[in-house]
């Protein structure tokens, strides 16, 4: 009987702390996204990329193209937003929905809007997979669609 009561107490403590951990994790994930927006709007692509897993295994899907790896993803962003004749614009994320998949993984959906000085604004939706890594919460997969 004592073992059963002990097990019930352990399960209760684990369940009671889960919402607090989920809330902390969701807050941390939202901070990563906020930091990305701030970095983008400073025209700091490396700061923006700090929200991504710095690994050759990072995946980024957009416009029918698959980009694998942190450096190729940074290079893609540089080509599209910092090469001659391009602009970064002002980034905004909205309708963010964070769904925890466990203590170290999350599924994030939202919308982006890039306001361009040229008037050629861009907007769309994204789906992100976050993992809690030693460096903190990082995007390990990004699927963005305009």
Distance of alpha carbon 55 from alpha carbon 68, whole angstroms: 9
HSE, side-chain direction, 13 A CA sphere, residue 116: 11
For residue 22, what pLDDT is reported?
73
Looking at residue 14, its pLDDT comes to: 45
Element (H, E) at 104: none
Task: Give the pLDDT score at 15.
Answer: 45
| pLDDT at site 85 | 86
Print pLDDT tens along the chain (146 aa): 444 444 343 334 444 445 566 789 999 999 999 999 999 999 999 999 999 999 999 999 999 999 999 999 999 999 999 988 899 999 999 999 999 999 999 999 999 999 999 989 999 999 999 999 999 999 999 999 99
Residue 19's pLDDT is what? 59
Domain boundaries, the chain: 2-145
Q: Which CATH architecture has domain 2-145?
A: Roll (3.10)
Instruction: Decide: residue 53, CB within 10 A, 0-12 exposed, 13-18 middle, 19+ buried.
Output: buried
For the beta carbon of residue 119, count every other beta carbon within 10 angstroms.
6
Instruction: Give the whole-angstrom CA distance, residue 35 versus residue 130.
Output: 15
């Amino acid at each position: 009987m004592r073992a059963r009561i002990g097990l019930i107490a352990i399960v209760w403590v684990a369940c009671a702390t889960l919402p607090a951990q989920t809330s902390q994790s969701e807050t941390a994930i939202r901070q990563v996204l906020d930091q990305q927006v701030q970095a983008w709007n400073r025209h700091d692509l490396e700061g923006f990329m700090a929200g991504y897993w710095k690994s050759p295994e990072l995946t980024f899907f957009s416009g029918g193209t698959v980009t694998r790896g942190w450096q190729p993803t940074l290079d893609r962003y540089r080509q599209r937003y910092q090469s001659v004749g391009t602009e970064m614009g002002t980034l905004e994320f909205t309708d963010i929905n964070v769904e925890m998949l466990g203590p170290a993984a999350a599924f994030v959906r939202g919308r982006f809007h890039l306001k361009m000085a040229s008037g050629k604004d861009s907007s769309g939706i994204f789906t992100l997979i976050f993992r809690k890594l030693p460096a903190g919460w990082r995007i390990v997969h990004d699927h963005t669609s305009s």
